[in-house]
């Protein structure tokens, strides 16, 4: 799947559905519709929020419990 | 079973109460004085489980094993924090290992295989003197949206929610005073809200995940379901603590969360999360607004607050991280045994395997970016408040796409960032279904959340039993 903030939700859904059909077959892809629509929406949302190279690295478990010992 | 002798113990006990109506805190007191034996109490709960069997809360009840444990317990004991759950039978969600019992996760190949080692939670419960009565119903791998066999004790046409379905239903039905569950998105507090009980999800890493089947390592939280905030604090005393076997376990100083209820007690300053009130269904919003008004009348200072970024971004970050990790957990077993996967889990696994790694890493970069922004919201408040879920318990025959077991979104901002939160009932609404409010705290502020929760509980009062 191409990752770009310029894609629409429908384009992302179509890309995921093509991948699903190639991987799991048409019948399974039909069963996956709700999950694929959720994936398309969430993928699109994340792609609207790009980060530059020097911005945040991925989080780690320690972020959770070191952020506010009180 | 009605026990006149219990009149002298605690403030909530009266002669006409049945043992199954008692809070664990009251029972521990009665047991310590020898006014009730562990076996008498256990038999009272087993009879209650039989009498309310239509709730279908259990996958496995180890009645004989529980009796053997109860018989070995002394008839009186010194009440001590280290034995804080002495004689209390407990049900654990069926994704949590208990030695000698199967962990089915609602997955047939696991159903008849007893495991030989306790999870960290089970080990701590045993150490605190609890009786591990059995396994409560869970959605398959805590990831399925298929309706469980369990029914909502308040209205059998409705589900208890998922994935922790059995523990809150059993606690609401007075079958046990404490249940253990897990939450990766909303799987503990949402069902607890639907069932009209208290649900508490401690901070990420506060309770060990060792020996619990994972759903998403960076978001999995064990937690407790009770009928009172006091019992939630008692249960947390038993299960909290660092565990070197869990790489995400938090270094922590042992705390007494029961005494913390008094230590942290004050009229709270609360932030009302506008984003969630605005997204709630009208019936839920109206009930939550009424509950907030009662808190304000009781003296709480309440301001409107907003999430620091759009709710959709929180949802997307959590969804991608959860699904990326879940795919890594399941792909090998799924390739070998996919016929045993329920349809919604199958669809989830297949979809998640299509996600590129770069998207997962991008979501985790946003987790680091969002965390301090979210933490800053708590600077001026003891806790935030919001409806626990956007909706009420769905009907058993609900077919609403990916929300068949209810809308998980109102738990996402807190679960994704490991913040402690608690749900408590505020009343009963349409269709005899409970209303609920959640109390959310900053990172590791578990004691504060419990104290605020208890203050709110005193304003709202307690719900009666849904079943006679």
Average pLDDT over residues B246-263: 94
Q: Do A43 and B346 touch (CB under 8 A)?
A: no
Q: What percent of chain B has pLDDT over 70?
A: 96
H helices, E strands: number in chain A: 4, 0
- At B405, the pLDDT band (50, 70, 90 cuts) reads confident
- Residues contacting B192, CB < 8 A, separation 6+: B164, B168, B181, B198, B199, B225, B388, B423, B436
DSSP alpha helix (H) spans, B20-132? 24-32, 38-51, 63-72, 120-127
Find chain A residues with C-beta within 8 A of B218's C-beta: 59, 61
- At B8, the pLDDT band (50, 70, 90 cuts) reads very low
Q: What are phi and psi of B155, to 5 degrees?
A: -165, 110
- At B6, the pLDDT band (50, 70, 90 cuts) reads very low
Q: What is the pLDDT of residues B365-403, one digit of tens each?
A: 999 999 999 999 999 999 999 999 999 999 998 877 667
Q: Do A69 and B444 touch (CB under 8 A)?
A: yes
Parallel, antiparallel or unpaired: strands B383-387 and B269-273: parallel
Contact yes or no for A16/A39 (Cβ under 8 A)? yes
Distance CA B104, CA B135 (A): 9
Q: Do A59 and B248 touch (CB under 8 A)?
A: no
Residue B402: its pLDDT value, please? 65
Coil, strand or helix: which one is B21? helix
Q: What is the pLDDT of residues A16-48, one digit of tens each?
A: 999 999 999 999 999 999 999 999 999 999 999
B263 contacts chain A (CB < 8 A) = no
**Chain pair A-B, CB pairs under 8 angstroms:** 131
Contact yes or no for B376/B417 (Cβ under 8 A)? no
Q: What percent of chain B has pLDDT over 90?
A: 89
CA quadruple B351, B389, B411, B170: dihedral sign: negative
Q: What is the pLDDT of residues B157-178, one digit of tens each?
A: 999 999 999 999 999 999 999 9
The residue of chain B with its CA nearest to that of A38 is B402
Distance CA B96, CA B112 (A): 15
The CA–CA distances, whole Å, from B29 to B38, B239, B276 equal 12, 19, 40
Q: What is the pLDDT of residues B410-446, one digit of tens each?
A: 999 999 999 999 999 999 999 999 999 999 999 999 9
Residue B350: its pLDDT value, please? 98
B376 contacts chain A (CB < 8 A) = no
Distance CA B65, CA B36 (A): 20
Q: Which of B467, B449, B459 is nearest to B224 (CA)?
A: B449
Distance CA B330, CA B348 (A): 10
Residue B13: its pLDDT value, please? 47
Contact yes or no for A46/B320 (Cβ under 8 A)? yes
Angle made by CA atoms B328, B330, B334, in degrees to the nearest 5: 135
Q: Do A35 and B347 touch (CB under 8 A)?
A: yes
Residue in B25, B187, B208, B390 annotated catalytic:
B187
Distance CA B98, CA B132 (A): 8
Active site residue B93: yes
Which tokens hold the place of B374? 């979210």
Contact yes or no for B236/B203 (Cβ under 8 A)? no
Distance CA B393, CA B154 (A): 10
A19 contacts chain B (CB < 8 A) = yes
Residue in B93, B135, B201, B392 annotated catalytic:
B93
Active site residue B187: yes
Window B:408-437, CB contacts with A under 8 Å: 417-418
B346 contacts chain A (CB < 8 A) = yes
Residue B78: its pLDDT value, please? 73
Residue B79: its pLDDT value, please? 75
Specify the range with the lowest mean pLDDT, choosing from B37-41, B261-265, B458-462: B261-265
Distance CA B55, CA B153 (A): 6
Residue A68: its pLDDT value, please? 63
Q: What is the pLDDT of residues B182-218, one digit of tens each?
A: 999 999 999 999 999 999 999 999 999 999 999 999 9
Does the ipTM exceed 0.85? yes
Q: What is the pLDDT of residues B291-319, one digit of tens each?
A: 999 999 999 999 999 999 999 999 999 99
Question: What residue has token string 């203050």?
Answer: B455
Window B:185-224, CB contacts with A under 8 Å: 203-206, 218
DSSP B96: B
Distance CA B60, CA B371 (A): 39
B255 contacts chain A (CB < 8 A) = no
Name the residue among A24, A34, A57 with its Cβ closest to that of B401. A34
Query: HSE on the CB side for B456, CA within 13 Å?
Result: 34
Q: Do A1 and B354 touch (CB under 8 A)?
A: yes
Contact yes or no for B439/B425 (Cβ under 8 A)? no
Average model confidence (pLDDT) across chain B: 94
Q: Do B320 and A61 touch (CB under 8 A)?
A: no
Query: What own/partner pairs with CB < 8 Å and gap ≥ 24 does A51-55 have?
Result: A51/B362, A51/B365, A51/B366, A51/B369, A55/B365, A55/B369
Average pLDDT over residues A9-18: 98
Residue A39: its pLDDT value, please? 98
CA distance A28 to chain B (A): 8
């Amino acid at each position: 799947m191409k990752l770009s903030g310029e894609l629409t939700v429908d384009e992302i859904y179509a890309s995921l559905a093509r991948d699903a059909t190639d991987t799991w077959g048409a019948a399974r892809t039909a069963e996956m519709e709700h999950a694929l629509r959720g994936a398309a929406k969430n993928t699109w949302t994340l792609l609207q929020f790009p980060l530059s190279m020097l911005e945040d690295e991925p989080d780690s478990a320690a972020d959770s419990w070191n952020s506010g010992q009180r | 079973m009605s026990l006149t002798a219990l009149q002298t113990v605690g403030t909530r006990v009266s002669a006409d109460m049945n043992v199954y109506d008692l809070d664990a805190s009251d029972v521990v007191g009665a047991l310590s004085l020898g006014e009730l034996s562990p076996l008498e109490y256990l038999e009272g709960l087993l009879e209650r489980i039989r009498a309310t069997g239509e709730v279908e809360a259990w996958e496995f009840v180890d009645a004989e094993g529980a009796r053997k444990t109860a018989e070995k317990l002394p008839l009186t004991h010194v009440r001590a924090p280290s034995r804080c759950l002495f004689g209390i039978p407990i049900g654990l969600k069926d994704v949590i290992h208990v030695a000698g019992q199967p962990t089915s996760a609602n997955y047939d190949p696991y159903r008849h295989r007893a495991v030989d080692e306790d999870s960290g939670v089970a080990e701590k419960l045993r150490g605190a003197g609890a009786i591990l009565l059995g396994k409560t119903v869970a959605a398959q791998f805590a990831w399925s949206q298929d309706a469980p066999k369990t029914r909502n004790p308040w209205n059998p046409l409705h589900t208890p929610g998922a994935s922790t379905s059995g523990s809150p239903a059993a606690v609401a039905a007075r079958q046990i005073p404490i249940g253990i569950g897990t939450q990766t998105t909303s799987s503990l507090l949402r069902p607890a809200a639907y069932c009209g009980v208290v649900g508490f999800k401690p901070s990420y890493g506060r309770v060990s995940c060792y020996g619990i089947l994972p759903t998403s390592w960076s978001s999995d939280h064990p937690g407790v379901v009770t009928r009172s905030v006091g019992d939630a604090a008692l249960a947390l005393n038993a299960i909290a603590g660092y565990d070197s076997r869990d790489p995400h376990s938090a270094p922590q100083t042992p705390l007494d969360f029961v005494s913390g209820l008094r230590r942290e007690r004050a009229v709270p300053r609360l932030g009302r999360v506008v984003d969630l009130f605005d997204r709630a269904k009208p019936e839920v919003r109206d009930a939550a607004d009424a509950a907030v008004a009662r808190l304000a009348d009781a003296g709480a200072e309440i301001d409107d607050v907003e999430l620091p970024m759009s709710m959709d971004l929180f949802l997307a970050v959590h969804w991608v991280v959860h699904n990326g990790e879940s795919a890594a957990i399941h792909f090998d077993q799924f390739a070998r045994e996919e016929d045993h996967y329920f349809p919604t889990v199958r669809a989830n696994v297949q979809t998640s395997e299509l996600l590129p790694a770069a998207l997962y890493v991008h979501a985790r970069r946003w987790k680091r970016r969002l965390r301090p922004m979210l933490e800053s919201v708590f600077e001026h408040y003891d806790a935030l408040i919001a409806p626990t879920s956007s909706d009420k318990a769905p009907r058993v025959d609900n077919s609403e796409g990916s929300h068949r077991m209810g809308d998980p979104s109102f738990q996402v901002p807190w679960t994704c960032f490991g913040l402690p939160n608690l749900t408590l009932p505020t009343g009963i609404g349409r269709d005899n279904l409970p209303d609920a409010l959640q109390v959310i705290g900053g990172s590791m502020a578990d004691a504060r959340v419990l104290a605020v929760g208890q203050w709110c509980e005193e304003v709202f009062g307690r719900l009666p039993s849904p079943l006679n």
